[in-house]
Structure 1
Amino acid sequence: MGLLSYFSVISHDEAERLHLATREQRLEDDADCIKMVQQREALKKIAKAEKIKIQNRKRQRSKRQCDQAQKEDPSNAKTAELSCPRQLFKEDAAKNRDVRGQKHEHKATDAKLNNWVNPLLWQQIVNAGHEAGPQLSPTEIVKILKARNLQNFSKLTPQVLGCYIERPLNNNGSCTFEVEGSKQVAVTSKEEKRAWTAVVGVTAAGNVLPMQIVMKGGSQHSLPSSNSLDYAESKELGLLFGLNAKNYWSNIPLLEEYLKKIVTPHFSMQKQRLGYPEDQECVVLLDCWLVHRSEEF
């Protein structure tokens, strides 16, 4: 019995009819798929429109609550104006001026934008930030503020508050807040920096040798003062401070000083500890810095 015995034999006309039927079925299936996709997209549009309606209703309800609160307490009706008192100072000063001279062409208008760093408002934001926890979620902070003082913080949004959270919350420039456990924290209000190079040596046993600190400068005034904090401890640990007049990188004299005062004493101590002769050869592996590839080196 051959392999073809498992298949039925049909004529050419039957094969053509079967092909047409299969093609029509594929077209119907494709049409159904297209229809399902269109229905799915229509449902997405309906859901999106409904979401926008809900957000608009919430926004309108919040505005009505704010307006009602302002009617009940007129003293808080102009938060923007009270948070920007400069215009009021200018108006008071204008009252004492000579009435003669050119008249004002434009009348004074009330402030429209709130000054959230005004001490009267900022302290409330700081307190809400402490209550919100270390995550400092803008949404949570805004929710707390509106629950406590809807009149003054009705126009505050999480997006606006997020710009202020990146700055120190205590508003004195001495601290930076970040999520607990972050690997890197951006430093604010610390624009002046001092670059320097640390020459680090590690032995084959895994011990770290004292570092050489290279700073740019032409005199000892460019180095840390002997009266600075922990300076005595750094000298006890064997730290070596060096100067480079051109930049803060190591050069030939500094490298020679590092080998003479740090590497060579370490080799001598290890030879004495292990009982090796003084002429025992030692190996130093150096990174391929430019100074190490110079003709002078």
Structure 2
Amino acid sequence: MDRSFKHPIPTQAARKRPNDWEDQCERSEFRKAYVIKEEDIPAELWVNSDQTQIVYAPGDKMTWAPTGAKQVSLVGADEKRAFTLMLLPFQAVYQGLTEKSCPSPGSPEYCEAIELGFLLEYSGTGTYWSNQKTMRTFVDKILAPYFDREKERLGLRTTQMSLWTIDVWSVHRSEEFQTWMNKTHPIDFT
């Protein structure tokens, strides 16, 4: 089955804005508008995704302690355990080298999450951030099947162009990822 969709159009994190960020954003918006119009891309076939860090137990800067206490511990202040979340339904990427890094199949609601299409996977690295392997899994197991289902639901041809907007993270911009996308999910302009 042909799963053609327009390759990622980058956005950029606000904290690392270049001097010409407004011009870049405007050009990005015009490019998206042009592609959407020229390829007749319905709203259901435009996905904007970004990795989101989820901290297990975010600490709060407030705590209960007697007034005047000399030592007040802050629960969770040093907590650094987190995972990356991509939505659609979602992919959660956990730090670690084996499946033991992921939630246990015996966890409450685990089976329901899997039945809903949630993807729980380990990064294979010392971080929880997405990498080449996890981004490919996201595209193959979540994004492309989503586009296929939506095309079928909307009664569109399988070659209908879709649009995926992602950020300019190094994995997304890498030649390795772009080459893989072009090989496994080629753009069909016919």
TM-score range normalised by the length of the shorter chain: 0.5 to 0.7
Aligned counterparts of 2:70 and 2:147: Cα–Cα separation in 1: 55
Q: Call closer, same or farther: CA 1:215–1:137 in 2, change over 3 Å.
A: closer
Deviations 1:139-189 (A, max 9, x none): xxxxxxxxxxxxxxxxxxxxx72438966xxxxxxxxxxxxxxxxxxx616
Q: Using CA pairs below 8 Å that are at least 6 residues apart, which structure has the higher relative contact order?
A: 2
Q: Which residue of 1 aligns with 2:106?
A: 227
TM-score, length-normalised on structure 2? 0.52
Q: Which residue of 2 aligns with 1:270?
A: 150
Q: Which residue of 1 aligns with 2:82?
A: 195
TM-score, length-normalised on structure 1? 0.34
Amino acid paired to 2:135: L
2:97 corresponds to 1:210:
no
CA contact (8 A) 2:90 2:118 kept: yes
Q: Call closer, same or farther: CA 1:211–1:189 in 2, change over 3 Å.
A: closer
Q: Which residue of 2 aligns with 1:163?
A: 69
Q: Which residue of 2 aligns with 1:280?
A: 160
Deviation at 1:236, TM superposition (A): 2.6
Deviations 1:63-93 (A, max 9, x none): xxxxxxxxxxxxxxxxxxxxxxxxxxxxxxx
What secondary structure, in the 3-state scheme, does the structure 2 residue paired with 1:267 have? helix
CA contact (8 A) 2:93 2:130 kept: yes
Deviation at 1:219, TM superposition (A): 1.0
Unpaired segments ≥5 residues, structure 1: 1-135, 139-159, 168-186, 201-208
CA contact (8 A) 2:84 2:130 kept: yes
Aligned counterparts of 1:245 and 1:137: Cα–Cα separation in 2: 39
Q: Call closer, same or farther: CA 1:162–1:232 in 2, change over 3 Å.
A: farther
What secondary structure, in the 3-state scheme, does the structure 2 residue paired with 1:271 have? helix
Deviations 1:13-33 (A, max 9, x none): xxxxxxxxxxxxxxxxxxxxx
Amino acid paired to 1:263: L
Deviation at 1:268, TM superposition (A): 1.0
2:141 corresponds to 1:261:
yes
Deviation at 1:250, TM superposition (A): 0.5
Richer in helix (by share): 1
Q: Which residue of 2 aligns with 1:295?
A: 175
> How do 1:175-194 and structure 2 match up within 5 A?
188=75, 191=78, 193-194=80-81
Richer in strand (by share): 2
Q: Call closer, same or farther: CA 1:256–1:189 in 2, change over 3 Å.
A: closer
What secondary structure, in the 3-state scheme, does the structure 1 residue paired with 2:163 have? coil
Two-structure CA RMSD over aligned residues (Å): 2.8
Q: Call closer, same or farther: CA 1:287–1:189 in 2, change over 3 Å.
A: closer
